[in-house]
Structure 1
Amino acid sequence: MALINTQVKPFNASAFKAGEFVEVSEKDIAGKWSIFFFYPADFTFVCPTELGDVADHYAELQSRGVEVYSVSTDTHFTHKAWHDSSDTIGKIQYTMIGDPTGELCRNFDVMREGQGLADRGTFIVDPDGIIQAMEITAEGIGRDAEDLMRKVKAAQYVAAHPGEVCPAAWKEGEATLAPSLDLVGKI
């Protein structure tokens, strides 16, 4: 899983967004921050809580120039059916990618081979298509969109401020660090 600082591989997928079926490729992420939010399956238990949590933060992500792509091995048709039948999923405005062949899941190394399902994987991708952060959790461990927001803010800060890094639990507006020989052993 050496995906940090690697380029997103080319892909082409069908998706559901804003009441329409759309095609999505790596060209759509060029020039903007993106989140790829992989989850096992539609019509399940933990997945809608996570997707709904991200939906609640989507406007803030958009205001930061971040696009969200949720991905499962379900089809774009299944995403539409779930969107139409669930109040939680119905509030989603971001792109829901169908990956029935598992190409995208394999590109991000989250495919559960033999099961045809994705692991819970979150990837923050910079405007150059480079993976800057990733998180993989086990089946029963739901992710937190607040922490995802913190990571997005940190990734954007570091990208905009070369030579600075964000310490543990960093929040926007707090002090950062400037690694140097003088700082060694002082933290």
Structure 2
Amino acid sequence: MSVQIGRQAPHFEAPAYDRTKNGTDAQFTSVKLSDLQGKWVCLFFYPLDFTFVCPTEIVAFNKAIGDFTDRNCVVLTASTDSVYSHKGWCDSHAELKDLKYLMLSDLTRKLSAAYGVLDDDKGIAYRGIFLIDPQGTLRWLAIHDLGVGRNVTEVIRVLDALQTDKLCPCNWKPGDKTLN
């Protein structure tokens, strides 16, 4: 399956590690995309737990979680690691102990494949990021090489632009005029 802007995002149900209620009350759960209808979803994939670029992104999204929440947007992250690996990584990495969004496990690689980010040779996900609107329609995506982290500020800018439901010119930012 290939993903396309303007089409329904691939449905998923995935096991998840939930540390949002305070690290000591962390739990294992499950997430369905359909349960998030009515909210924007920012789903970002990363290659593996216990790596170098990945925690910089996860921490950056965590620091900006209020910006996403203010925009009615749920942040989810996913890798091909298990929920137990996610837990071990969060327990051992000081900056991940206060994570405010769920970490999805894609051991089967089906989620990564459905979103077109699976590196078949390595069995890991590229750094794909997807913005899904409240009706489940894919509105924006970007896929980065394994060694290049994402810019959270740019993701929020794109989310703002999409939420205007208007034409936004190059380098548009909130407060700028849109096009008629």
For the superposition of Structure 1 and Structure 2, which TM-score range results when normalised by the shorter chain?
over 0.9
Alpha-carbon deviation of 1:27?
1.7
CA displacement at 1:153 relative to structure 2: 0.7
CA–CA distance in structure 2, aligned partners of residues 128 and 68 of structure 1? 16
Corresponding residue number in structure 2 for 1:173: 175
Q: Which residue of 2 aligns with 1:24?
A: 31
Query: Partner amino acid for 1:13?
Result: A
8 Å CA contact 2:81–2:107 kept in 1: the answer is yes
- Aligned pair 1:37/2:44, yes or no? yes
* Alignment of structure 1 residues 5-154 onto 2, 5 Å: 5-18=6-19, 19-154=26-161
CA distance in 1, matches of 2:173, 2:72: 18
RMSD: 1.1
Unaligned runs of 5+ in 1: 159-163, 179-187
What TM-score, normalized by structure 1, do the two folds share?
0.89
- Partner Cα separation in structure 2 for residue 136 and residue 121 of structure 1: 4
TM-score by length of 2: 0.92
C-alpha distance in structure 2 between counterparts of 1:94 and 1:42, whole Å: 15
Partner SS, residue 142 of structure 2: strand
The alpha-carbon deviation at position 88 of structure 1 amounts to 1.9
Displacement of 1:91 in angstroms is 2.6
2:167 match: secondary structure: coil
Once the two structures are superposed, residues 146-169 of structure 1 have per-residue CA deviations (whole angstroms, 9 ceiling, x without a partner) of 1111111111112xxxxx301111
Larger of the two Rg values belongs to structure? 1
Does the CA-based 8 Å contact 2:3-2:115 persist in structure 1?
no
Moved more, 70-79 or 7-16: 7-16
For 1:149 and 1:11, the matched residues in 2 are separated by 23
Equivalent pair of 1:12/1:23 in contact (CA under 8 Å): yes
Q: Which runs of 5+ in 2 are unaligned?
A: 20-25
After TM superposition, which residue ranges in structure 1, 4 or more long, deviate above 4 angstroms?
A: none
What is the Cα deviation at residue 28 of structure 1?
Answer: 2.1
Distance 1:12 1:108 in 2: 13
d(CA) in 1 for partners of 2:35 and 2:122? 29
- Secondary structure of the corresponding residue to residue 104 of structure 2: strand
Is the Cα contact below 8 Å between 1:52 and 1:91 reproduced in 2?
Answer: no
SS of alignment partner, residue 84 of structure 1: helix
Amino acid at match of 2:169: P
The sequence identity of aligned pairs, in percent, is 36
- Give the stretch that moved more between structures: 34-43 or 10-19: 10-19
CA contact (8 A) 1:13 1:97 kept: yes
8 Å contact from structure 2 (residues 79, 104) kept in 1? yes
SS at structure 1 position matched to 2:150: coil
| CA shift for structure 1 position 10 | 2.3
Per the alignment, residue 182 of structure 1 pairs with none
3-state SS, counterpart of residue 105 of structure 1: helix
Q: In 2, Cα distance between the equivalents of 1:152 and 1:25?
A: 21
